[in-house]
Amino acid sequence: MQIYLPIAEMSVNVFVILGLGGAVGFMSGLFGVGGGFLMTPLLIFLGVPPTVAVGTEANQIVASSVSGVLAHWRRGNVDVRMGLILTLGGFVGSTLGVYLFRWLRGLGQIDLVISLCYIVFLGIVGALMLVESIQALLASRRNGGAVAVRKKHQHGWMHGLPLKMRFRRSQLYISAIIPATIGLFVGILAALMGVGGGFIMVPAMIYLLGMPTSVVVGTSLFQIIFVTANATFLQSTMNHTVDVVLALLLLLGGVVGAQVGARFGVKLKGEQLRSLLALMVLGVCLKLLFDMVTVPNELFAVGTGGKH
Amino acid sequence: MRRLLLALSLLALCAPAPFVPAHAAEPLVADLSKHLVAITTGFAGTDVLLFGAIEEVDGGKTGDVVVVVRGPNRSETLRRKDRTAGIWINSGIAKVDNAPSFYQVASTRPLDQLAPPAILGRHQIGLDHLDLALRVKDGGADTAEYRKALIRLNQKKGLYGDKVLEIGMLSQRLFRTDVHFPANVPVGVYMVEVYLMVGGQVVSAQTTPLVVSKIGIGADVYDFAHQQAAAYGIIAIALAAFAGWLAAIVFKKA
């Protein structure tokens, strides 16, 4: 069954989009990630214009993070104060990101920058996660199941910064500048890459802020709602690249897939999950890198200029 | 008797088209099976039938029919990738303001057998004779390469015809051809130009408009997204937030 997407201006098979939403939702339920980093490249691969893929994905992530955060909220795993500070930075960051997006689109280099961002950040995060999870797997084998306790992060110079705040749920007393800066940085990337940014935010919260892992995912999801909502709004008003029909189809498949994935996830060990996720992240990264260095089939590309 | 039948059928064919005066002296009459291609929610491309009839021109010769379907002109930007520091980056650019958004030619015979290039060029019949004003800013490729690329890319999207379509003739008088409009067809007012060619010259020509337009919910969504962008953005966010909340409630109970 074909359906015409009004903003993407193309006709797609409903079941392909539902299936795509379901498959990526399954992954995100399984691994506890947003899945934007998989969905955006896949949409582009299907022929959705990259600008529409990025804008629409921001809209879909609003839905998936709302549904995700509620479970964490009920268990009290959301540090609202930390989330708000991150959101503050994220708002500024995603606004800058959308402007940057528009500017790069005018220069004709938006596709390049999107690809480069994916390669760099997926490469770093994937490699770190793989090394860490393999070490954990080896350690658990050696210690007969006991997982090594991670040392609390030492802050050093970060403790000298002003505007100190107490984050009770995270058991931290740190300068608000640090989370605001992280929020800003991740916000820029989220707007540029069409992702929630959880895959950068979560490691940053653990390793840079030293937050306890129990509140990390809930707090990350909490701030992603607002950052992606801001990106959705700006992409709609500035670039007209949010396709609600596409977003609704994706999230319909996505919510079902995520529930199935989450049920599967409890059967697997954390280290196994993380190493699988790392391999997948690295796979996407290598595919994009490969596309960039090999001679393309078509050296020319056409884009319509005189549109609204 | 045959003549009468022909005239009657012509009248019937031409009745819905107000632009075509259906009197017998006209050497060429043509019309479309529909004058509106409606892009609805379920739109997956469509065919439009073009049909008509030609009269004998003096001396009893019958001519050839050429049909050009042309979408509204638009400006397009072409970019060419080149290898810089090991990766492929957009390095050259060309702009064109008068590229037809859709272009398809149908003919009873191969174009080069019909008329000399000068005639084809004057009426812009055939991809080789399209008048494209390309402004190239690129040290590595010339206008001809960009021109070829523009045509090739539009052919890949199904917007420019890969080849000249065949026009079927019935008893050397009636002609018909199907023109396919793919799902990604650009909206606007199209011009369907029908030429009657005899001895390398255009003896008669007729132009019929064809409107390609978004209709229904899809069109409303598009207009709303462009005219009330802020409200559209807020609704998009609210819809997503509601859907997410609903999903969480439904699956908590399950």
pLDDT in tens, A279-304: 988 998 998 899 888 888 888 888 76
pLDDT value for B190: 96
pLDDT band at A212 (very low <50, low <70, confident <90, very high): confident
Task: Indicate the pTM of the whole model.
Answer: 0.80
- Nearest partner of B153 among B214, B99, B193, judged by Cα: B99
pLDDT value for A225: 93
pLDDT in tens, A27-61: 888 877 778 888 988 898 888 888 899 999 999 99
Among A242, A292, A308, the residue with its CB nearest the CB of B87 is A292
Q: Per-residue DSSP letters for A232-249?
A: HHHIIIII----HHHHHH
Q: pLDDT above 70 covers what percent of chain A?
A: 93
Q: pLDDT above 90 covers what percent of chain A?
A: 30
pLDDT above 90 (res A232): yes
pLDDT value for A34: 76
pLDDT value for A272: 80
pLDDT in tens, B207-225: 999 999 998 888 899 999 9
3-state secondary structure of A7: coil
A221-234 average pLDDT score: 93
pLDDT in tens, A113-170: 888 998 998 899 889 888 988 888 888 777 654 444 454 555 566 667 777 888 888 8
A244-262 average pLDDT score: 89
pLDDT band at A77 (very low <50, low <70, confident <90, very high): confident
pLDDT value for A306: 39
B41:A4 CB<8 A: yes
Task: Report the distance separating Cα A230 and Cα A216, nearest Å.
Answer: 21
Among B76, B88, B239, the residue with its CB nearest the CB of A305 is B76
B225:A242 CB<8 A: yes
User: Looking at chain A, which residue has its C-alpha nearest residue B77?
Assistant: A303
pLDDT value for B25: 59
Q: Token match 């989009």: residue? A: A17
Show residues of chain B in contact with A7, CB under 8 Å. 221-222, 225
pLDDT value for B14: 43
pLDDT value for A194: 85
Ranking A50-59, A88-97, A191-200, B143-152 by mean pLDDT, the lowest is: A191-200
Q: Number of helices (H) and strands (E) in chain B: give both, helices first.
A: 6, 13
pLDDT value for A140: 78
3-state secondary structure of A56: helix
B150:A302 CB<8 A: yes
- Nearest partner of A227 among B47, A219, A16, judged by Cα: A219
ipTM of the complex: 0.85
The Cα of A33 is separated from the nearest Cα of chain B by a number of Å equal to 15
The Cα of B212 is separated from the nearest Cα of chain A by a number of Å equal to 13
pLDDT value for B7: 39
Q: Token match 């840079």: residue? A: A208
Q: Token match 């978004």: residue? A: B214
A62-69 average pLDDT score: 88
pLDDT value for B26: 72
Burial class (CB in 10 A: 0-12, 13-18, 19+), B158: middle
Q: Identify the segments of chain B with pLDDT beneath 70.
A: 1-25, 57-61, 253-254
Task: Report the distance separating Cα B113 and Cα A252, nearest Å.
Answer: 56
Terminal Cα distance for chain B, rounded: 77
